[in-house]
Amino acid sequence: MSATVTSPDHRSDPRITLRAHLRHTGALVRRNLLWIRQDPESMFDVLLMPVVFTLLFVYVFGGSIGQALGGGQHRYVQYVIPGMLAMMSMTLSQGVGTGFSQDFNSGVMDRFRSLPIGRGSVLVAKIAVELGRMLFATAVLMVVAVLVGFDIGNWPGLLATVGLSAVFASSVMWVFLTLGVVLKNAQSVQAMGFLVLFPLQFGSSIFAPPNSMPGWLRHFTDYNPLSTLANTARGLMTGGPVAHDLWMTLGWSAAITAVTAPVAIHKFRTKT
């Protein structure tokens, strides 16, 4: 009996129906939400990050970059807020990897793997809860954005942007779930996440137009998924071309998911 309880090779995925997978996912989502309820400090990042980053970039860089854009601080607000939505979709995705690593080190995941539940359900539940945190952060960001002067003139565009950001964020979460399984502790996941996030965020069109960047960096920016997401968000929310960047973003999301989701599930099954 004990071997059945502790062995990570105990698998029942092939015999579990889709309905059972959905039921298991719902139960695990509820478990994760209850954990957040018991530890409300875990929501501080989604509450404070949109406020801090918005105020920092608007009031520190807004004047100078806004003038370069042909306006002032108000012009920069219209530029940077859609980019901030793109940034949060990746920045908050890191939390799913650190939380996953902590669950492994505490023994929670060993218990889950011993139960007759779909292995994918554990991972999907983590993603679902993290997407909920991201939507909460988005709501906070938009409240702050309106207070600093952002004009929400296109509500359907805003909703489409939120949906696209959620699609992209869910794909990036598979990357961090993989890191959460492969790396030894949450600190390692956080450090690796920083190395990935930092160049992608600042080597993009999120905070400033890439026109003045050197040629090699502009080429990187053009294909950076955060740039394509930010450009799509601007087109949807404030007007402008959308099609090319939209398809690029969807392509990146599909490719990242197709590569990393099977790896994350396999590593989760076989981790000892």
As a whole number, the mean pLDDT across the chain is 85
- Residue numbers of the domain that contains 89: 2-6+41-270
The whole-number pLDDT of residue 9 equals: 43
Kindly state the average pLDDT of the residues 101-130.
77
140 in any annotated domain: yes
- Output b/e per residue, 214-246; b: 16+ Cβ within 10 A: eeeeeebbeebbbbbbbbbbbbbbbeeebeebb
229 in any annotated domain: yes
250-266, pLDDT tens digit by residue?
999 999 999 999 998 88
Write the single-letter amino acid at 96. V
262 in any annotated domain: yes
239 in any annotated domain: yes
Enter the pTM of the model. 0.85
* Cα angle: 94, vertex 100, 105; to 5 degrees: 130
148 in any annotated domain: yes
Write the single-letter amino acid at 77. V
Reply yes or no on whether the pLDDT at 7 is more than 50: no
Domain count, the chain: 1
Distance, CA of 12 to CA of 114 (rounded, Å) = 10
48 in any annotated domain: yes
The whole-number pLDDT of residue 3 equals: 39
24 in any annotated domain: no
Distance, CA of 72 to CA of 171 (rounded, Å) = 35
Copy the structure tokens of residue 189. Answer: 């996941």
62 in any annotated domain: yes
